[in-house]
Chain A
Amino acid sequence: MSTTLTPILTKTWGEDRSWTLESYERTQQGYQGLRAALGRERDDLVQALKDSGLRGRGGAGFPTGMKWGFLPPDDGKPRYLVVNADESEPGTCKDIPLMMANPQVLIEGVAITSFAIRCNHAFIYLRGEVAHVYRRLLRAVEEAYAAGHLGKNIHGSGFDLDVTVHAGAGAYICGEETALLDSLEGRRGQPRLKPPFPAVAGLYSRPTVVNNVESIASVPGIALHGADWFGSMGTEKSKGFGIFSLSGHVKRPGQYEAPMGITLRELIDMAGGMRDPEKALKFWTPGGSSTPIFTAEHLDVPLDFDSVASAGSMLGTRALQIFDETVSVVRAVSRWTDFYMHESCGKCTPCREGTWWLSQILHRIEAGQGLQEDIDKLLDICDNILGRAFCALGDGATSPITSAIQYFREEFEAGMHTPAAELFPPAASTLFGSKESVSA
């Protein structure tokens, strides 16, 4: 195996009290990146981020330094950094453990980024359904203030920064950056028309950078070790490292921090192989449920932005959900579709109505009561959503359906007469059910 793991953000997870400032400063050169940054020109920092090649870790992969560079020139009025900690894309489970085990690296990243973009009040928008992570963030901010890493005149630099950690209240759509801003302003979380982009008119209509947790947590390393260090990992167009989240039918699901471009074959090997070596890999998501599924034929696709895109999907959030041959693809897709129906914000018709229809049709196919024209109808509805929805949630809702029909059309056809649960008894897929069958 050529690729090896690169523990950076995950390096101290699991160590005793790894979430404390004391641990962060002792074991990870904590806040030395901030001290170095405060002595530099702000524009140099933005340039360093551009040079590093860091692309957003929240799903879309937009170059982070370029995003910072889009802010208009300083007019002396407020501008904001908002960290997107809403992590709710099905399969995605990297930011939550990061903030639980190592919140200080995020806070340091917030401080450096805020300095670079001339922001004096930053926000972390955390999904509300993770109480202990909220505690850890509140505590991390308290500790950082007490140590002078936040607050007034940070380390004598004249730079002031306040950080507010804000809990949402349960709504996947608030991960979409403009819906997040509306939610943070105390409204229903519904996407805004773009342009104007947040860089021009974001929070309170002021210039705003919205970045993912892992993107911002990657900043201290770049500030301390340099753009070349970061770029020494990964591929030409997807530089650096990322946390790859394996879940489902592998022996050891979990978080694996690796250079961009690692393959699923390598990762499954690191995770101890498939849960049951007798049962083959059937399908998987490269980047959460909104990215078209892959199959065993994609095991060697380098997991970087461009290679995954050329193979017909998206790297997304590196949320690798692994399903073996015991799983009905119809059942999986039908459940994801229920999710999109439930989470559709209702603002635009194609998504609000379309996800509802998709869900109805998939339920009857799953029950073995599909109608002859149902597959065409599914594809037709997807076609009417994709590219016509107001935001990417609607597009994402079509991904699992169209890709599953592409690779497993015959399973949808079987749904005209046979229930999915008969073709693929659910007990065979469960963790506990399978233990019995393995020991039997």
Chain B
Amino acid sequence: MAQFGEQTASGHLHVSPESKAPYDADVLAQLRADAETIIARYPVPRSALLPMLHLVQSVDGYITGRGIAVCAEMLDLTLAEVSAVATFYTQYKRHPNGEYTVGVCTNTLCAIMGGDEIWQSVSEHLGIGHDETTADGKITLERIECNAACDYAPVVMTNWEFFDNQTPESTVQLVDDLRAGKDVTPTRGPNKVCTFKQTSRLLAGFNDGLADEGVSAGPASTEGTRLARAKGWVAPGDDAPQANEEVHP
């Protein structure tokens, strides 16, 4: 397991001094106001901790010592209690994250369908391994577990948007485009991938207004529905549709 910041020989977690440098007053004021909004969603304040940690990442790009301190203070928790939570979940980054997290699914199904080859190609192409970031600060590469898109294997996620049915070539192109500052469009998602900080703000529960962009479902999700329509199969009580549509032209 990766360490939070650095682990010292004596076993203590060491959070880098710069990550403890205080926030500017205006940043802090906004952070606190947003955190209050999150806390108000729950009957018990502590439930706000996970979204608040996403919020910290939306400001700092990772979980900082100062972010932990703000969470602890606002939720009346100890620093250790907040750190314990921050180190449990894989989406919380323990060191400055790139602008884009590119996650290659290497769980069994995707790995076998080509995820292992994809991983090897991009890792070699970028010269970095798991949870490492390119020198330009653009891309953090990760091996990820099953992301509930196995019918689109092999799958790559970029800042937690779906890139379905990938190949080594398409993924290398994806990271090159991201590094060149081009807009990239997920297969099932908004018109363009957000930055890590923007996505983190969304995950803190702040709607970014992009829900109406993108497809309703990808082709694999609707295989059964299209087959049923073509065959005239319906659920009990439904009117039979005209069986005229070609499923796979």
Contacts and interface: CB of A to CB of B under 8 A. Distances in A.
Interface in B121-168: 144-154, 157, 159-162, 165, 167-168
A92 interface: yes
Tell me the interface secondary structure of chain B in the complex: loop
A130 B147 contact: yes
> Which 7 A-B pairs give the minimum distances between C-beta atoms?
A254-B223, A186-B49, A169-B89, A256-B224, A139-B211, A247-B150, A170-B90
Interface of A: 4-8, 10-11, 13-20, 78, 87-93, 95-97, 100-101, 121, 127-132, 134-136, 138-139, 142, 164-172, 183-189, 204, 225, 229, 232-233, 241, 244-248, 252-258, 270-272, 289, 319, 321, 323, 327, 331-332, 335-336, 339, 342-343, 345, 426-427, 429-433
16 contacts: A4-B231, A5-B233, A6-B228, A91-B150, A97-B221, A132-B214, A167-B205, A186-B47, A186-B50, A244-B224, A252-B248, A257-B224, A345-B88, A429-B112, A430-B112, A430-B154
Interface in B80-123: 84-85, 88-92, 103, 106-109, 111-114, 116-117
B197 interface: no
Interface in B22-69: 41-44, 46-51, 53-54
Contact of A134 (B152, B202, B219): B202
A270 B108 contact: no
B207 A253 contact: no
A10 B233 contact: no
B145 A88 contact: yes
A167 B216 contact: no
Interface of B: 41-44, 46-51, 53-54, 75, 84-85, 88-92, 103, 106-109, 111-114, 116-117, 144-154, 157, 159-162, 165, 167-168, 186, 188-190, 194, 199, 202-205, 207-208, 210-212, 214-229, 231, 233-238, 248
A147 B50 CA distance: 30
A186 B48 contact: yes
Contacts, number: 289
B220 A254 contact: yes
Contacts of B223: 252-256, 271
Contacts of B106: 335
Nearest to A184: B47
Given A15-B216, A432-B168, 20 more contacts: A5-B224, A13-B222, A19-B216, A78-B43, A91-B146, A92-B148, A100-B221, A132-B188, A135-B211, A138-B211, A168-B50, A186-B85, A252-B223, A253-B151, A257-B225, A270-B224, A335-B106, A339-B145, A430-B114, A433-B117
A167 B217 contact: no
Contacts of A188: 84-85, 88
Contacts of A258: 224
B111 A335 contact: yes
Nearest to B77: A186
Contacts of A170: 89-92
A135 B146 contact: no
A331 B107 CA distance: 11
A335 to B, nearest CB: 4
A401 to B, nearest CB: 13
Nearest to A188: B88
B124 to A, nearest CB: 16
Contact of A233 (B75, B145, B148, B235): B235
Nearest to A230: B236
Nearest to B227: A270
B224 A7 contact: yes
A327 to B, nearest CB: 6
B222 A14 contact: yes
A131 B161 contact: yes
A300 to B, nearest CB: 20
B114 A5 contact: no
Nearest to A23: B216
B224 A255 contact: yes
A333 to B, nearest CB: 8
Contact of A100 (B91, B116, B165, B217): B217
Contact of A18 (B153, B159, B216): B216
A252 B224 CA distance: 9
B225 A87 contact: no
A256 B112 CA distance: 22
Contacts of B43: 78, 121, 204
A430 B113 contact: yes
B213 to A, nearest CB: 8
A431 B150 contact: no
Given A6-B236, A7-B234, A90 B109 contact: yes
A431 B114 contact: yes
A431 to B, nearest CB: 5
Contacts of B194: 131
A136 B210 CA distance: 9
Nearest to B199: A131
B9 to A, nearest CB: 22
A19 to B, nearest CB: 6
